[in-house]
């Protein structure tokens, strides 16, 4: 298959500015996990400051009789596709939206494989678009239990969305890239190059499906999907599939249940994509272990939790993981020696529900720490919220402050939240910068970027200031050392040439050798400085 997307990395150390570029966030709903057919396209083009420039949303007819794939996940039926345009008719619209922009996707390699297969079917010329994976960029910016798109958007305080609707996923991805660029200061590690994409006829009529409402996450199991811990695979190819499979499984679990038929369908999709039976089973085992750990986090397991876990474990064919699990009341009645006293931290973990207000890196770091610690992260202020955390940019007249007090929640400033809740600093917190994020819904004029004078007025002890200063000082030293290296190399080369000319001209051998060695002694340190700079 052709390489239609050239992957670029993003990091806080990226020296290519990202805010002055344009991005097209894309998402495909597909017939499975192995490169088959695209059945829905969602794409959102934005400027780096978060301003939306255009959108595309349409169902795609993969051909008569082609099965739509995991309907339970993306909710697209065969009947929905019958009146949709074929991909050949809408590819022109898609390429026009992507032209001269950096393509962005969550789990970009997975989306790129499907695009490459369709590209091949349409016999389009080999052209590579620059692309960025927000999943990998989020791993560099945040420490989270998992990096599913809903988990990342929760941690970044982005709007809630209906997962596995292509346009909703693309909008969520656009929110993530805008926040990482503006709030977290991430840049590209190298300059993107834009190929000349083919110009195709565009479809006059598209078939977008009605927008879905976000799934309510009220059960204990559905709220856990953002805190599931499944270790990534050692190699990138398996990791790509693991991330995709965990995303599908998390979506199925989001309503608190999964049937054997659903689990079998997902397992078949994974096997078709190249995941072995043993590997799929291991992912299932880790998921159920995480669910069991959450159920027991307060030292008490209810009968409902045992029933739910048994149903999921049976569907995923890992019943051995919970074969010894019993409701706590039964265990205590039987006088089992396995009963343990409930620690204060265990009892607090399950009922602690935290809402963090703020669109700064520190607020993002706190949300990440809440998830990392195993607490529930709330999106809205309800009676179940136990702690409301506000960062310094939230106005004093924010209505939710007073409402939280009325509901009995504890209101904490961000500066005191970590010690109060026992949270450890995350990677995002260690590199935090108090710059406001720019949500896609807000025009840049209403939330201007910090001016140079504002930035220079920041405290010298601020982590971002220190980090930026260190980067600049390090870059300056590196440039100076490189110049010194080239000077030494030049002087060394000069003496070497003189020695060679003297020897050819009949000069004294010992003098020529001395000059030659002098050139080596001077030039060698220069070569070492040059190599050190390249290694940086």
- Tens of pLDDT, residue by residue over 42-55, are 999 999 999 999 99
pLDDT at 470 over 60: no
> What one-character DSSP code corresponds to residue 219?
S
CB neighbour list of residue 279: distance below 8 Å, 6 or more residues apart = 238, 270
pLDDT at 332 over 60: no
**Predicted pLDDT at 474:** 39
**Predicted pLDDT at 297:** 72
pLDDT at 443 over 70: no
- Six token digits for residue 495: 């003496």
280-297 burial, b at 16+ Cβ within 10 Å, e below that, comes to bebbbbbbbbbbbebbbb
Enter the pTM of the model. 0.72
**Predicted pLDDT at 243:** 80
Q: Lowest mean pLDDT: which of 226-230, 264-268, 294-298?
A: 226-230
pLDDT in tens, 279-303: 888 888 888 888 888 788 767 888 8
**Predicted pLDDT at 348:** 46
**Predicted pLDDT at 387:** 95
Q: Give the residue from 358, 347, 368, 355 showing the smallest Cα distance to 407.
A: 355
Percent of the chain with pLDDT over 90: 42
Q: How far apart are CA 106 and CA 152, in angstroms?
A: 10
Indicate the SS3 state at residue 37.
coil
> What one-character DSSP code corresponds to residue 162?
-
Structure-model confidence comparison of residues 15 and 450, the more confident one: 15
Residue 182 near residue 19 (C-beta atoms within 8 A): yes
**pLDDT band with cut points at 50, 70 and 90 for residue 189:** very high
Q: Lowest mean pLDDT: which of 81-90, 221-230, 234-243, 513-522?
A: 234-243
Cα-based angle 78, 82, 86 (whole degrees, multiple of 5): 110
Q: How far apart are CA 266 and CA 244, in angstroms?
A: 11
Q: How far apart are CA 499 and CA 491, in angstroms?
A: 12
């Amino acid at each position: 298959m052709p390489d239609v997307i050239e992957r670029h990395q993003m990091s806080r150390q990226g020296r290519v500015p990202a805010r002055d570029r344009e991005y097209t966030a894309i998402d495909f709903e597909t017939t499975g996990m192995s490169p088959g057919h695209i059945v829905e396209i969602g794409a959102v083009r934005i400027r780096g400051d978060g301003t939306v420039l255009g959108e595309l949303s349409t169902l795609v007819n993969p051909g008569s009789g082609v099965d739509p794939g995991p309907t339970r996940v993306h909710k697209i039926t065969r009947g929905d596709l019958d009146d949709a345009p074929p991909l050949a008719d809408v590819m022109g619209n898609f390429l026009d939206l992507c032209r001269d922009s950096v393509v962005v996707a969550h789990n970009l390699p997975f989306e790129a494989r499907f695009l490459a297969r369709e590209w091949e079917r349409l016999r389009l010329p080999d052209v590579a678009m620059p692309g960025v994976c927000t999943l990998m960029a989020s791993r560099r910016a945040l420490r989270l239990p998992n990096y599913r798109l809903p988990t990342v958007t929760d941690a970044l305080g982005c709007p809630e969305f209906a997962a596995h609707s292509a346009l909703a996923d693309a909008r969520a991805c656009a929110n993530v890239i805008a926040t990482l660029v503006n709030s977290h200061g991430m840049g590209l590690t190298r300059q993107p190059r834009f190929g000349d994409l083919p110009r195709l006829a565009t479809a006059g009529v598209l078939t977008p499906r009605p927008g879905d409402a976000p799934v309510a996450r009220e059960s204990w199991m559905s709220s856990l999907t953002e805190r599931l811990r499944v270790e990534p695979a050692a190699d990138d190819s398996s990791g790509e599939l693991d991330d995709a499979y965990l995303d599908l499984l998390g979506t199925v679990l989001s309503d608190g249940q999964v049937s054997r038929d659903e689990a079998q369908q997902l397992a078949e999709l994974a096997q078709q994509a190249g995941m072995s039976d043993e590997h799929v089973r291991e992912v299932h085992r880790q998921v159920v272990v995480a669910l069991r750990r959450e159920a027991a986090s307060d030292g008490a397991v209810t009968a409902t939790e045992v029933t739910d876990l048994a149903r999921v474990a049976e569907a995923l064919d890992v019943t051995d993981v919970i074969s010894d699990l019993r409701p706590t009341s039964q265990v205590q009645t039987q006088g089992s020696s396995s009963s343990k006293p409930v620690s204060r931290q265990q009892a607090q973990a399950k009922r602690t529900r935290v809402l963090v207000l703020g669109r700064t890196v520190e607020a993002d770091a706190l949300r990440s720490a809440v998830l990392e610690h195993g607490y529930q992260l709330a999106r809205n202020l309800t009676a179940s919220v136990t702690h409301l955390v506000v960062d310094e940019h939230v106005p004093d007249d924010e209505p939710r402050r007073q409402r939280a007090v009325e509901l009995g929640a504890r209101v904490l400033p961000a500066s005191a939240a970590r010690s109060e809740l026992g949270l450890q600093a995350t990677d995002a917190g260690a590199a935090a910068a108090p710059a406001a994020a720019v949500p896609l819904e807000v025009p840049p004029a209403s939330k201007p970027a910090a001016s140079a004078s504002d930035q220079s007025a920041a405290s010298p002890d601020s982590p971002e200031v220190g980090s930026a200063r260190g980067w600049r000082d390090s870059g300056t030293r590196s440039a100076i050392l490189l110049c010194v290296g080239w000077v030494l190399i030049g002087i060394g080369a000069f003496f070497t040439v003189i020695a060679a000319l003297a020897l050819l001209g009949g000069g004294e051998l010992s003098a020529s050798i001395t000059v030659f060695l002098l050139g080596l002694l001077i030039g060698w340190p220069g070569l070492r400085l040059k190599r050190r700079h390249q290694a940086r």
